[in-house]
Amino acid sequence: MSWSKLKQQLESFRCPALDGRVEYRATSYRYLPDKSGICYITVDKKNILNMNDITSPIKWYQTELEIKNDPDIQVPISNEEIEAIRKDTNGNVPEDRLQVIARGRKISEHAKELLSAQASLSKSNFNVVANKFLTTSIEESLESHDILLNILALVDRRVGKKRILNMTEKMKLEHPSVQYFYELRRSTL
């Protein structure tokens, strides 16, 4: 599918409140037909989602340790996770330490998922992901581990106010770029 047709279809699904604010852009190489151009998303005429742009206002993590030490990431821990650790340690660990261990394990898993999603985004082809978004359900796009699919779903008009408001806890565990677009969408409600 040509870029202009793809862009038109993506824009037809965009939330009306974000018309004129969120735009899909692409550069192409006239003399290199076999090389794909760079696609990116702008908000209010500012380049927001482009892995190659160091001036992006969104934090891109380089290591797992950066994620573990980021104070903005809040990891909720359930009682089931604490019970699982209690069972693993045969009850020999004090209560306050159980939460520290559970948080450490969960943040490690979360860090690996974030870095994996970020790495796949840098290697992904915007056109391929956008075509996948257009052919899958909105629920699948929201639940996906693909950052770009999540972003396209968040700015989609099919995601209503109630669903956006119910996603607050889930968004605490998402990549900063997904959180940025979530907050943008919430601001339009």
List the pLDDT tens digit at each of the 189 positions of the chain. 777 888 899 999 999 999 989 998 877 666 655 555 566 788 998 888 775 544 555 666 777 788 778 877 777 888 888 888 888 888 788 888 888 888 888 888 878 887 777 766 655 577 788 889 999 999 999 998 888 899 999 999 999 999 999 998 888 888 888 899 999 999 988
For residue 5, the surrounding DSSP H or E stretch is helix 3-13
On whether both 133 and 168 belong to a single domain, the answer is yes
Q: Round to whole Å and give the CA distance between 162 and 112.
A: 30
Q: Round to whole Å and give the CA distance between 186 and 189.
A: 5
Put simply, whether the predicted model's pTM sits higher than 0.85 gets the answer: no
On whether both 52 and 141 belong to a single domain, the answer is yes
On whether both 86 and 177 belong to a single domain, the answer is no
Report yes or no on 103 lying in a domain. yes
On whether both 53 and 68 belong to a single domain, the answer is no
On whether both 81 and 50 belong to a single domain, the answer is no
The number of folded domains in the chain is 2
User: Which residues form the domain of 36?
Assistant: 3-57+125-187
Cβ neighbours for 110, distance < 8 A, ≥ 6 positions apart: 67, 73, 75, 173
Q: Round to whole Å and give the CA distance between 175 and 70.
A: 12
Beta-strand runs (E) in the chain? 22-26, 39-43, 46-49
On whether both 48 and 131 belong to a single domain, the answer is yes
